Structure 1
Amino acid sequence: MDKKKKWLKITLGIMALVIVGVYIGGIAAFHGKFLKNTDINGMDVSDMTVEEAEKLIREQVEDYQITLKERGNNSETITAEEIGYHYVSNGEIENFQKSQPYALWFVSYFRPASYAFETAVQYDETLLKEKADSLKCFDKATAKAPEDAKMVFQESENKYVIKKEKQGAKLKQKKFWKLLTETISERDGLLDLEKESCYQTPKVTSDDKDLNQLVENLNHYVDIEITYCFGNQKEVLDGSVVKDWLTYDKKGKVLVKDGAISDYIASLADKYDTYDKPRKFKTSDGTYVTVEGGSYGWKIDQTAEAEELTKLMEEEPHMERTPIFAQEADSWENGDMGDTYVEVDLTKQHLWMYKEGKLIVESDFVSGTMTPARVTPPGIFRLYYKKSPAVLRSTKPGDSYETPVSFWMPFNGGIGFHDATWRGSFGGQIFWNSGSHGCINLPYSAAQTIYQNIEKDYLVICFYRNGEYKY
């Protein structure tokens, strides 16, 4: 053997020993550890023991948190520590390590190894419940329930409009818990509550067909403007009043509440009727007296007007209207007595006759004696008729008479104006003890002038001053 071959053998022998040494050293180095280029669930565990790998995974697990993306660009976070979220070893990592081919440790430098498993984790449900209860998305003060769209009456426009629904921020609790536990189980870091439809929703929205139809039906009735005229005074009937009369059934049919229209007409009558009511009257001397009695005055025909208004409401009217009256007065001025009347001051025993505000005649008179049987009662009356000549008769026992007169003008039963040529004087205090049987006794000329200017239904106003209607 020559010298070259000898050194070659020596070199190869040394190399073989080195290789064997390195190989044996590699086996020793990776004993109980993961080989190079090994990852578990995406984490590099090269050169780590089972304990070290489990610690890495535990730290990664315990670094977990879930973000709740909430309505209104709000978000909240639940951390692993807050819910006792932790890793539980089931031996998977140890099995991975044992399954590696240590005899071929050198292959790992060229061929990576990857392992994956469902990491066994646990969390405390009680802690999760406590944490969830403390979240803002469960705060009753801010997590408001949704509000349905609804109709409201808009005073500024006198009509119904739809108030848009409000989404609110109240969660569907069962769905939330289901999604939350699933998200934690899947180790997902985000739960988008809006995207997952976790919020309660309104049952009725502004585009609801039935709601819109109901608003349209109601507006048909409230689109009304009737101006009732009572002289210079007016009462406007519009949607702001009518809205309180309306109701509707389950099908959206609009109904007017029983009695609503008749009650409204009754309220007008109560306010504007003057029939059988005392009223202020401005006398010829400029003072005011309260006049009552008689059958004069404005009186609404409530039944007829209620029927007419019921019909009008179907037509959406915009109009001025005078109600139907069962009885009318001459005016709305001066206590509804206008400027054409005979003013009979029973206290002063003096009268004035006006026609369209012009004084026609004034005169003293003598009225009924102040006794229960003869006193002239106060009140507002209309002339029945006039007759010339006439004979006044009474067949009343103990007080019968038959008296011819030239001018007879009755206005209150058997009481009226007439001439009394048998009297030598008028006015003053004669009526207290020597008055008439109730009629207004006049001088001939005054009776004649009144007769020439008066006509059927002429207004006659009789009054005492300061409560002097006594005997």
Structure 2
Amino acid sequence: MVKEFLDKLKKNKLIGNIVIMLSSILLIYLIISIYFINHFFFNTEVNGVNLSLKNYKEANEILESYMNNYSVQIIGRDGRSEDINGRDIKLTYKDKNIINDIKKDQSSILWIASLFGEKDYYVDGLVNLNEESLTKIVDEMDIINKGIVEPVDVSFKYNNGIYEIESEVYGNKINKDKLITILIESIKHGERIVDLEKSLCYENPKYISNSDKTIETRDLLNKYVSTKITYLFAEKKEELNGDIINNWLKVDEDLNVVIDEKALEEYISKLSKSYNTVGITRKFNTSTGKIVDVNGGYYGWKINSVAEEKMLIENIKLGANLEKEPIYSQKGLYREENDIGNTYVEINITRQYLWFYKDGKVIAEGSIVTGDQRKGYSTTLGTYMINYKQRDAVLRGQGYESKVSYWMPFNGNIGIHDASWRYSFGNNIYENNGTHGCVNSPLSLAKKIYENIDAGTPVICYKE
């Protein structure tokens, strides 16, 4: 019984001690809470000023003192800094009742929460500053005006067959308007330091080395310069590869790859000048043993520049690797230096004579009558080709209509045909009684040519 009584007494004493301890803690908490009825919580800042545990009545005085001695430091990425003094921007403190709004948030009974986190308050209109003075100071800052390095976007350099990324330049150029905006807000918030990097006041490159667009552009450039096209001109070849193509590639401000079509056109034009033969001057070995220069005419090879340029752009975009002939608008029979070959019609205007060679042998020859030079109908000199051949044609022109058995045009409506109305050919007939430009021949000669000639056969008209 005694033991039970003693145990019960000890238990009651323990409970009593706990109650006393909790009551003491509660009392202390309430006493502290009473303190915070008129004081700021722990870790409290207002407009950048530490007011922790300060009496509410002291707030305006502390804030005013802080603002009267205020200055802000501007720190740049290149190690330079600038200071702005509050007096220089006419910074003034404006008394304002800041207590009521803060009291609503800092209920004294909840003071313990302030031990575990900071609380920053911003009261609008607490200070005034002269923005014009601030702008003038910023305009004159060294950090704005001296030693400025412009930002440069990432770029691409062609080297040994591939494009490499050249790193961007960040520079130190500041967006002045943004800086002024940041400064105004920072000063109003009582901040002492403005870090230009953290405040994003710099004008930075739009694209940098590890941007997705940068990688995409580099890969596209390398695809384009991987193109290899070998143009075939019989035994001759022209190779187009990245060493040429890279000069046609540009990258715009949005990192889009642009093909310089004008440069590409110039390349095709150069090919055309080298390998087109229509209208060129040819050294021609005549049947009389002389070598004459024959220029003009429509026979020969001619690259279709427009079609080939379009095809070339498509091939570059595909990164094609191939051998091909260019697209031609017209082809000759041969691609050797003398693209006439050994099958052709030779018309000597001076001698009024025609030879038809086939595979190097004379198949037919004879006297002819060409255009009447007195009337302005001279047969045009140059190298042409048989466009087609037709039996029993009717030739019409101004003031005439003639039926012929064999018609072989080679220059528009100018062609070789029989002329049954003539009784003689050759000599100087063409000077006073020539044709309207056609080549008149005896029926037997026209027939022989017709039976052995094909469309496309070259026709060389020349004078000795």
With the length of structure 2 as denominator, give the TM-score of the two structures: 0.50
CA distance in 2, matches of 1:343, 1:368: 16
SS in 1 for 2:232: strand
Say if 1:416 and 1:217 are closer, same or farther in 2 by CA, change over 3 A.
closer
Candidates 326, 347, 351, aligned match of 2:350: 347
Cα distance, 1:290 vs. partner? 2.7
CA distance in 1, matches of 2:432, 2:362: 30
Say if 1:303 and 1:365 are closer, same or farther in 2 by CA, change over 3 A.
same
Does 368-377 or 286-295 show the bigger shift? 286-295
Query: Letter of the aligned partner of 1:439 in structure 2?
Result: C
Cross-structure match for 1:324: 327
Percent identity over the alignment is 41
Cross-structure match for 1:380: 383
Say if 1:368 and 1:321 are closer, same or farther in 2 by CA, change over 3 A.
same
Candidates 199, 220, 226, aligned match of 2:223: 220
CA contact (8 A) 2:354 2:367 kept: yes
CA distance in 2, matches of 1:262, 1:370: 41
Over residues 166-197 of structure 1, what are the superposed CA-to-partner deviations in whole Å (9 max), with x where a residue is unaligned? xxxxxxxxxxxxxxxxxxxxxxxxxxxxxxxx
1:268 aligns with 2:271: yes
SS in 2 for 1:450: helix
CA distance in 1, matches of 2:263, 2:373: 49
Query: Letter of the aligned partner of 1:373 in structure 2?
Result: G
CA distance in 2, matches of 1:441, 1:303: 39
CA distance in 2, matches of 1:394, 1:307: 41
Cross-structure match for 2:426: 427
Over residues 45-95 of structure 1, what are the superposed CA-to-partner deviations in whole Å (9 max), with x where a residue is unaligned? xxxxxxxxxxxxxxxxxxxxxxxxxxxxxxxxxxxxxxxxxxxxxxxxxxx
Cα distance, 1:226 vs. partner? 0.7
1:361 aligns with 2:364: yes
Cross-structure match for 1:315: 318
CA contact (8 A) 2:283 2:292 kept: yes
5 Å matches for 1:204-243? 209=210, 216-243=219-246
Say if 1:228 and 1:283 are closer, same or farther in 2 by CA, change over 3 A.
farther
Over residues 304-335 of structure 1, what are the superposed CA-to-partner deviations in whole Å (9 max), with x where a residue is unaligned? 21111111112222221111122222222354
CA distance in 2, matches of 1:393, 1:214: 63
Tell which structure's C-alpha radius of gyration is larger. 1
CA distance in 1, matches of 2:405, 2:233: 41
CA contact (8 A) 2:278 2:296 kept: no
CA contact (8 A) 2:279 2:383 kept: no
CA distance in 1, matches of 2:155, 2:415: 67
How many residues in Structure 1 have an aligned counterpart in Structure 2? 273
Over residues 222-274 of structure 1, what are the superposed CA-to-partner deviations in whole Å (9 max), with x where a residue is unaligned? 12221112233322111111111112245654332342323322332233223
1:442 aligns with 2:441: yes
CA contact (8 A) 1:217 1:253 kept: no
CA distance in 1, matches of 2:337, 2:288: 14
Query: Letter of the aligned partner of 2:318 in structure 1?
Result: E
1:300 aligns with 2:303: yes
Structure 2: 5+ residue runs without aligned partners? 1-153, 168-208
Structure 1: 5+ residue runs without aligned partners? 1-148, 165-207, 466-471
SS in 2 for 1:314: helix
Cα distance, 1:162 vs. partner? 7.5
SS in 2 for 1:369: coil
5 Å matches for 1:29-428? 152-154=157-159, 157-160=160-163, 209=210, 216-249=219-252, 252-285=255-288, 287-390=290-393, 392=395, 394-396=397-399, 400=400, 403-420=402-419, 423=422, 425-428=424-427
Query: Letter of the aligned partner of 1:345 in structure 2?
Result: N
Say if 1:153 and 1:419 are closer, same or farther in 2 by CA, change over 3 A.
same
CA distance in 2, matches of 1:405, 1:249: 65
CA contact (8 A) 1:280 1:334 kept: no
Say if 1:289 and 1:389 are closer, same or farther in 2 by CA, change over 3 A.
same
